[in-house]
Amino acid sequence: MLAPLLNVLRQGLSPEQLALTVALGVVIGAIPLMGAITTVATLAALRLRLNVAALQLISHLMTPLQLLIIIPLLRQGARLMGNTQENELTLEHIRYLFANDWRGALQLLWRAEVGAMVIWLLGSIPVVAILYFSLRPAFRRMAKRRALRQQSQ
């Protein structure tokens, strides 16, 4: 089961591209906007000439992380944008609002979402840099080992 996933990740990617793909995939997968992963990952992969399937795979594997951090990011985003209703940002309250007062839900969430996106953007820069520069040497070593293995066969 793991071999097909690794093959998708390795297809035509240099160690640097693979490190960038993983770093961006982790960050894009944690975007605090439900439903945006596919679009953002595709646009980033096309713009940076990365493997679209690999970036999509990594981004979607981060969905549990996205679900884990979305409410705390929305709360901090609400606080950042000066929304005094940040304490109302609970999953139960949001579900209730969407079921009974969808306009109230949108009013509560739009500023929190803008703030969460600002926090995500600012936080994603160091995360991508740290992941890229820490994964690049590991992927270079893996590529060298793989090349040596292929030469010996």
DSSP annotation string for 30-43: T-SSTT-HHHHHHH
Over residues 31-47, mean pLDDT:
95
Query: Which is higher by pLDDT, 142 or 135?
Result: 135
Over residues 9-13, mean pLDDT:
69
> DSSP letter at 87?
G
Question: Range with the lowest mean pLDDT among 44-53, 70-79, 138-147?
Answer: 138-147
Over residues 114-142, mean pLDDT:
95
Nearest to 6 by CA among 65, 43, 61: 61
Which three-class secondary structure state does DSSP give residue 140? helix
Q: With bands split at pLDDT 50, 70 and 90, how would you rate the model's confidence at 10?
A: low
Residue 123's CB is within 10 A of a number of other CB atoms, namely 13
Q: With bands split at pLDDT 50, 70 and 90, how would you rate the model's confidence at 1?
A: very low
52-103 pLDDT, tens digit per residue, is: 999 999 999 999 999 999 989 998 998 898 876 666 778 888 888 889 988 8
Q: With bands split at pLDDT 50, 70 and 90, how would you rate the model's confidence at 115?
A: very high
Q: Is the pLDDT of residue 2 over 70?
A: no
Cα-trace Rg, the chain: 19
Cβ 123 vs Cβ 28: under 8 Å: no
Which three-class secondary structure state does DSSP give residue 79? helix
Residue 8 is predicted with a pLDDT of: 62
Cα distance between residue 50 and residue 59, in whole Å: 13
Residue 5 is predicted with a pLDDT of: 55
Residue 60 is predicted with a pLDDT of: 95
Cα distance between residue 103 and residue 109, in whole Å: 10
Cβ 137 vs Cβ 102: under 8 Å: no
What is the average pLDDT value for the chain, to the nearest integer? 88
